[in-house]
Amino acid sequence: MPIRFVIPTCLLSCLLCLGLAQADTPELTIERIFDSPDLSGPTLREARLSPAGERVTFLRARDEDRSTLDLWEYHIDDDETRLLVAADEVVEDEGELSAEERARRERARIADLRGIVEYRWSDDGRFLLFPLAGDIYVLDMAAEEREVRQVTDSEDFDTDPQIAPDGEHVAFVRNRNLWIARIDDGSETALTTDGDEVISNGMAEFIAQEEMGRSTGFWWSPASNSIAFLRVDESPIDITLRYEIEAGTITMIEQRYPYTGTPNVTYRLGVVDIDSGETEWIDLGEEEDIYVPRVDWLPGGEQLSFQRQSRNQQTLELLLATPGEGEPEVLLTETEETWINLHDDLHFLANMPAFIWSSERSGYRHLYLYGLDGALIRPLTAGNWAVDALEGVDEELGMVYFTAAEVSPREKHLYRQSMVTSSPEIVSRISRRSGWHEVSMDRQARVYVNTYSSTEQPPQLGLHSADGERIAWLVENRVTGDHPYASFSEGHRPTEFGTLTGPDGQALDYRLIRPADFDADRRYPVFMHIYGGPTHRLVTDSWSRRILIDQYMARQGYVVFSLDNRGIERQGKAFQDAAYLKLGQIEMIDQMIGLDWLRSQDFIDPERIGIFGWSYGGYVALMALAQYPGEFAAGVAVAPVTDWALYDTHYTERYMGTPQDQPEAYEKGNVLTYADRIEDRLLLIHPMADDNVLFTHSTLLMQELQEKVIPFDLMTYPGEKHAIAGEPQRVHVYKTITEFLDRELEP
């Protein structure tokens, strides 16, 4: 006889309502995080004010394709946002990128983007210049129909186009030579001709792009009659073989990779006259084993500055050269017993013989005003907090604008200071909303574009006057209505910030996200998301795709935790210097303080803590498993460094010296030194065409673990570079990670 259940009508109604509510609240998935439209809202890049200040231009991704960018504008007087150039209306099929362009985009972390990925204004505001499919185009803003004009049309790939200040020529790199083309008729001239497999002219070398923050190798003079450029000779670097493994092929790449402790490139700095084609070479000094990280023209265009950095990066000189007048003059010299961090905080004043410069000599990065004779006039800022960047200078009103970590290393804000201040420690904060403010000011420093975000708010783009008052929203990006994240926002978990005390008493910042439906009486597994490297903080009140991954993990039942260890930027030079000659050591001490704190919390299951990191974070994850066996239930390392002897000169020697001079530091910083101690579950992931952290890092570890009969899980990605930027591959890698952790930690 069948059993019948009778459900009361009221209960049935409640169940139906609950079902409808759940149906209306979609599940946040890895697939949706990487799908279009972007959950963060419009993808906005390179927001800039036009020279006349009447509009703001920016790159914006399409709703239906988050990887393709078009050029947009916001017109201030009209209060309208509109599309200027759609990439596919200019070129239907972009085709394949050149090898050098692919590498350049990988260095710029835009390898997953297509369409218009960069642009520049001409100084007079008439032209917007952009490269597309290997050719160069300009949008004539003065034409009634806003026509797009093709400047170059070559079978070769033209990269790094820069328009002359007078708007008549565009300079670019083709086949490792420096070229110019007239904008009106497209006529071309090669300014250098000796570019080959070892010589490049005007092109930023690998080290400059990857480690020095310099993406170009040439600079127009203010008068538009000459161009300063670097001639880079890679012949001192030995050819090494690197394998790029695709799904069905293996390509053997001959690469001049500058391994730490081996020879570097050599430089020549030239100034070429665009009419005569004649080049005058600037004296860089007797020592050839140097870096040239920055080159800048002075406002008059008759003098040129360049920075000369010693190979050990403990000395940085700012020099002033007058072409045709002999040996350059050293304006100032910075020295450190550890290393000197490079910056872009150099501004030569037009109305007085002086310049603004930043230095960490006080223990924190601050701004200083110098005369052109190299004498210090006055400090402009001071205090136990760090300046991030000089953002603008208003010479007429005598004000400087800068971003800084004055509130907290977790936040970035905009400030101003008088150039005649007698109280450098007293600065005026302009931005008010707690979170992260990325600023781009106009040339007069009267208005600025602010990209604001926090852990609760995806990036918003606003136009502000110099006093901070918002003039207009360009993209308000409120998470309401039809915003892509609106349907997921109800389940968004708040981020908690706090500090722990490090071994030497310094504050270690952390962030924590509690899982969905948190119950203080339960014990939860931990997703310990780390980076740890000197150049990047994780614990910031800002929005990124990383936030969505962490939100996903919290919704799956994990406590998400990140801690910024000593050695990381924005907390003072002493905080960073603790990592000198101790990579792989100092991070472990601090991360274990975080682990001990987690275990002391009643809501944490101490037996279910997993650690995850990518790149440097992958290195830290491996070191955690190897140096502290049994402390973690599982670890995931993606594209990790394992042996610093396999990494490049500029990055590695900055923190570790050379293997010849500091063998003990390299031994203690090598994952393979401790690999035989790994006993916790490990998932190792590496892209098989990585030209940054070479695949060799992981193959060495694979062999070591196999020889010691230590089991581990492995996933490799044929054809992928360091970022694993392919859309399906990026989904696959995170699904692999989460499925591994779910299996090992059982959330």
Residue 690 appears among annotated catalytic residues: yes
555 or 725: which carries more pLDDT confidence? 555
pLDDT for 17: 44
CA distance 68 to 62: 6
Q: What is the mean pLDDT of residues 324-340?
A: 95
- Between these two residues, 324 and 239, which has the higher pLDDT value? 239
Reply yes or no on whether 343 is catalytic.
no
Average pLDDT score over residue span 125-130: 92
Upstream peptide bond of 8 is cis (omega within 30 degrees of 0): no
Q: What is the pLDDT of residue 30?
A: 96
The mean-pLDDT minimum among 77-91, 511-525, 613-627 falls in 77-91
The secondary structure of 642-710, three-state, reads CCHHHCEHHHHHHHHCCCCCCHHHHHHCCHHHHHHHCCCEEEEEEECCCCCCCCHHHHHHHHHHHHCCC
**pLDDT value at position 18?**
44
pLDDT at 680 over 70: yes
The question of whether 492 is a catalytic residue gets the answer no
Mean pLDDT of 473-501: 95
- pLDDT more than 90, % of the chain: 83
Q: Which residues of 452-479 are buried (b: 16+ CB within 10 A; e: fewer)?
A: bbbbebbbbbbbbebebeeeeebbebeb
Q: What is the tens place of the pLDDT at every residue in 537-591? A: 999 999 988 999 999 999 999 999 999 999 999 999 999 999 999 999 999 999 9
Which DSSP letter does residue 323 get? Answer: T
CA distances from 469 to 111, 434, 437, 476, 684 (A): 36, 16, 14, 15, 49
d(CA 552, CA 556): 6
The domain limits of the chain are 493-745
* Selected catalytic residue, list 169, 413, 492, 722: 722
**Taking the domain 493-745, which CATH number applies?**
3.40.50.1820
As a whole number of Å, the end-to-end CA separation of the chain is 41
Task: Report the alpha-carbon distance of residue 611 to residue 632 in Å, rounded.
Answer: 7
Which of 529, 690, 697, 698 is catalytic? The answer is: 690
Q: 403 near 414, Cβ under 8 Å?
A: yes
- Whole-model pTM: value is 0.93
Please tell me the predicted confidence (pLDDT) of residue 4. Answer: 38
> How confident is the model over 37-74, as pLDDT tens digits?
999 998 788 989 998 888 899 999 888 888 899 999 98
Say if residues 641 and 622 touch (Cβ distance below 8 Å): no
User: What is the pLDDT, as a whole number, of residue 20?
Assistant: 42
Statement: residue 7 has pLDDT above 50: no
Average pLDDT over residues 609-631: 97
DSSP letter assigned to residue 98: P
Is residue 115 within 8 Å of 68, Cβ to Cβ? yes
Q: Which residue did the predictor score with more confidence, 644 or 145?
A: 644
pLDDT of 357 higher than 70: yes
Torsion sign over Cα 288, 645, 255, 111: negative
d(CA 240, CA 253): 8
DSSP 306: E
Query: Which of 454, 542, 615, 698 is an active site residue?
Result: 615
| Band of residue 24 on the pLDDT scale cut at 50, 70, 90 | low
Amino acid at 279: T
Q: Which whole number is the average pLDDT over 445-456?
A: 95
The predicted model gives 355-359 an average pLDDT of 98
Q: How far apart are CA 421 and CA 417, in angstroms?
A: 7
Most confident of 122-136, 245-259, 612-626: 612-626
pLDDT score of 406: 97
- Given a contact cutoff of 8 angstroms between Cβ atoms, the answer to whether 44 and 459 are in contact is yes
- pLDDT value at 22 more than 50: no
Q: Which residues neighbour 57 within 8 Å (Cβ) at sequence distance 6 or greater?
A: 47, 48, 50, 71, 72, 73, 74, 84, 119, 121, 128
Orientation of helix 586-599 relative to helix 616-627, angle to 10°: 70
Would you place residue 13 in the very low, low, confident or very high pLDDT band (cuts 50, 70, 90)? very low
The predicted-structure confidence for 490-530, as pLDDT tens digits, reads as follows 999 999 999 999 998 999 999 999 999 999 999 999 999 99
